[in-house]
Structure 1
Amino acid sequence: MGVYKSKSKHNIANYYQIIVINIFILSSVTSSSMASSSLSSIDFSTAILIRVDQSGKGDFIKIQEAIESIPPNLNNSQLYFIWVKPGTYREKVVIPADKPYITLSGTQASNTILVWSDGEDILESPTLTIFGSDFVCRFLTIQNRFGTTGQAVALRVAADNAAFYGCVITSYQDTLLDDNGNHYFKNCYIEGATDFICGSASSLYERCHLHSLSPNNGSITAQMRSSASEKSGFTFLGCKLTGSGSTFLGRPWGAYSRVVFAYSFFSDVVAPQGWNEWGDSSKENTVYYGEYKCYGPGADRGPRVKWSKQLSYDEAAVFLSKDFIGGKDWLRPAPSHFKNAPKPNP
């Protein structure tokens, strides 16, 4: 993870446009979110539909081509919905900062796969990189097949107000670089071995399945909060933890690393100590690692390190709702109407 520490010198947040997001929910779930009154003039009911189909029956055969067809949209006046038909798309994809309000939707994660193989550099290796704010991803598998010999990011989320529903995200080391901003993951499957959910974001993971490939003493999280005043942290709510060998719940990439697991099932893959100080005992005084009403064979708090917390309800409450990520202000239901993209002038 040391390569990435130099990244703190770069203000990627300058690329962000923090306005509002159009969140698409799983088809079986109805969102109760209400539009912010300050943004009531924006029409979130209609999106421009772009089809990606490898057979040539859509508007494009590659995902990146579809993204490049979208004009810069910094006035935040239009939603775009990229519908990816089933297939394996072998490409590296970037959502630019000047193209917010894009939804990338597969048909289902089991048959709509975005895959690449790149490694060693945590910022250059991602299969999918998100810089555009107000982004939504649904029903898509995102893979980095670089292997087990170095950092290999499948997904990097470096934009504010991004949400992922029913996605599968897999690699080995640093699978998900949950970089900066407020993010929401629901019903996702995330797999890796070493620090496979890492970064500085404020993120809520709800009903996600985390699967560790580590043979011994890996780490699920490496959260990078660097000061007590920084808002960031990871919350895992109602999640399931499984694996093939021993793993820690987390270790501190940043001195004030903050991670909370609540109402989650821990298989016996979780190391009895629970958490690791990453060779720096001074961080034991500054990290915030908490558990609340977790269960399963790996949830026994008896052998846990003493500097982790068994949270009371009052301590846990701030982490147990979408308020932790300001979600009530930016999570949105799917649009009800679609229209075709305007044809370019000859």
Structure 2
Amino acid sequence: MRSVYASLVFVLVSVPLMGGTTLGVSVDTSLAVLITVDQSGKGDFQRIQDAIDAVPSFNSEQVFILIKPGIYRERVVVPEDKPWITLSGTNATSTIITWSGAWDTLESTTVSILAPDFVGRHLTIQNAYGAGAQAVALSVFGDRVAFYACRMISYQDTLFDISERHYYSNCYIEGATDFIFGNALSFFEKCHIHSTSKSGGAITAQKRSSVDENTGFSFVSCKLTGVKSKSVFLGRPWGPYSRVVYADTYMSNAILPQGWSDWNNAITQRTSFYGEYKCYGSGARNTTRVKWSHQLLTLDEATPFITQTWINGQDWIRSNPTHFKKPSFPLKNEGDGLESLDGY
């Protein structure tokens, strides 16, 4: 067990995670059950999905699944009845989950998070299908979900940020067409967003459908880059009340001068909310932006979007576990978590 705990010392850096209750159950956030996944056979499991399937339904304690370096060629699903799971590698460049699926946004997904109170750390999540079809790397349904220092890579529809509240910190997200999309309330902090579009791509396609919906994407202290100059929009409206804000973010010359697209629907120019605050770089020249976007000129205007209160993070961000224990449940495969996608 010494090597396992040495790995934990490496991955448990001082970044906040999550806290709270699920289904009225109080969880000790300082303590976690430890399960290891190692392709060499030296861990508890050799497949990530087998480790997840071993966790009891409606578990009431944190489960920390430590994934040893390797390329894991499998689809992974965390079912909605298995909260409080963490999947953690030791380094995103050496711990890779990859699949090659396309067309259906859910059935093609490499990793699907249906459960609340999930954490992903130090992982590369990749859909290797390439261009030509929807090929999702990561789909996130669950509430109070966070990813730290992860890499999400695909071409079209990389991150399906479907619903509920999510936090992404120091992540790398790569794609070409609408590659961050959905109707979640999400906060992206210190993330690197990279476009592989050669022409007319879009970073976001946010789906807010009503002025009463509290959803949207906020990017703070991020970096936007691309493979070609003037090749990608900041966003376009999947829903009529689409809401996206970039603040204190570096924008390279990959960003199109007009910034935003109405997706050939002029009505959304009146109903969507696309804002920028104190962004910089050659792609951030606001004098060329479409007139219906919002240049947030004061701190008061920007404040609702630029802190973790945007996602009520003060209620569910928590510290890392400080103590670990062996599982009290049998380490055996209790079923196929992929079946949990059938209802979606």
| One-letter amino acid of the structure 2 residue matched with residue 295 of structure 1 | Y
Distance 2:121 2:294 in 1: 34
Say which is worse superposed, 262-271 or 306-315, in terms of deviation.
Answer: 306-315
CA RMSD across the alignment: 2.0
- Structure 1 CA distance, aligned partners of 2:124 and 2:142? 20
C-alpha distance in 1 between matches for 2:205 and 2:173:
14
Q: How far does residue 124 in structure 1 lie from its aligned partner after superposition?
A: 1.2
The amino acid that maps onto 2:254 is V
Q: After the TM superposition, which residues 205-244 of structure 1 pair with which residues of structure 2 at under 5 Å, given as runs? A: 205-244=188-227
TM superposition shift of 1:343: 5.4
2:99 to 69, 92, 116: 116
Which of 118, 121, 128 matches 2:111?
128
Is the alpha carbon distance of 1:141 and 1:306 closer, same or farther for their aligned partners in structure 2, counting shifts above 3 Å? same
Residue 331 in 1 paired to residue 331 in 2?
no
Per-residue deviation, 1:32: 9.7
C-alpha distance in structure 2 between counterparts of 1:52 and 1:32, whole Å: 22
Contact 2:11–2:90 (CA under 8 A) maintained in structure 1: no
Q: 1:203 aligns with which of 174, 186, 189?
A: 186
Matched with 1:72 is: 57
Question: Which residue, out of 116, 129, 150, partners 1:146?
Answer: 129
- Partner residue of 2:304? 318
Q: CA deviation at 1:42?
A: 3.0
Report the alpha carbon displacement of residue 31 of structure 1 after superposing the two structures with TM.
3.8
Superposition deviation, residue 314 in structure 1 = 1.4
Give 5+ residue unaligned stretches, structure 1: 1-24
User: What is the CA distance between 1:190 and its match in structure 2?
Assistant: 0.1
TM-score (norm 2): 0.89
* Cα distance in 2 between the residues matched to 1:146 and 1:126: 11
Partner of 1:8: none
The correspondence for 2:147, drawn from 164, 173, 176, is: 164
SS in 2 for 1:284: helix
CA offsets 1:30-77 (integer angstroms, 9 cap, x no match): 5498879xx89531111110000000000000000000000102xx52
Partner of 1:3: none
SS in 2 for 1:281: coil
Unaligned runs of 5+ in 2: 1-9, 333-344
CA contact (8 A) 1:51 1:60 kept: yes
Question: TM-score scaled to structure 1, two decimals?
Answer: 0.89
* Cα 1:284–1:343 shift into 2, 3 Å: closer
Distance 1:345 1:234 in 2: 38
Q: 1:280 — aligned with what?
A: 265
CA–CA distance in structure 2, aligned partners of residues 163 and 305 of structure 1: 33
Identical positions, percent? 54
1:46 corresponds to: 31
1:344 deviates by: 2.9
Runs of 4+ in structure 1 off by over 2 angstroms are: 25-36, 39-42, 342-346
- Which whole-Å CA distance do the structure 2 matches of 1:339 and 1:99 have between them? 18
Distance 1:332 1:84 in 2: 22
Q: Give the match for residue 166 of structure 2.
A: 183
Distance 1:254 1:62 in 2: 38
8 Å contact kept, 1:92–1:127? yes
SS at match of 2:314: helix
Moved more, 328-337 or 197-206: 328-337
Which letter does structure 2 place at the counterpart of 1:67?
Answer: I
Aligned AA (1:332): R
Summarize the Cα distance change of 1:34–1:200 in structure 2 as closer, same or farther, 3 Å threshold.
closer
Question: Is the Cα–Cα contact under 8 Å of residues 88 and 113 in structure 1 kept in the other structure?
Answer: yes
Q: Which amino acid aligns with 2:104?
A: D
**Within 2, Cα distance between the matches of 1:105 and 1:345?**
18
Per-residue CA distance 1:234-278 (angstroms, 9 max, x = gap): 000000000012100000000000000000000000000000000
Contact 1:182/1:325 (<8 A) preserved? yes
Structure 1 residues 63 and 149, CA, compared in 2 at 3 Å: closer, same or farther?
same
* Structure 1 residue 315: Cα displacement: 1.4
Query: Is the contact made by 2:71 and 2:97 (CA closer than 8 Å) also made in structure 1?
Result: yes
Distance 1:91 1:242, change over 3 A: same
Give the secondary structure class of the aligned counterpart of 1:119.
coil
Counterpart residue type for residue 124 of structure 2 = T
Alignment of 1:247-326 (within 5 A): 247-311=232-296, 312-326=298-312
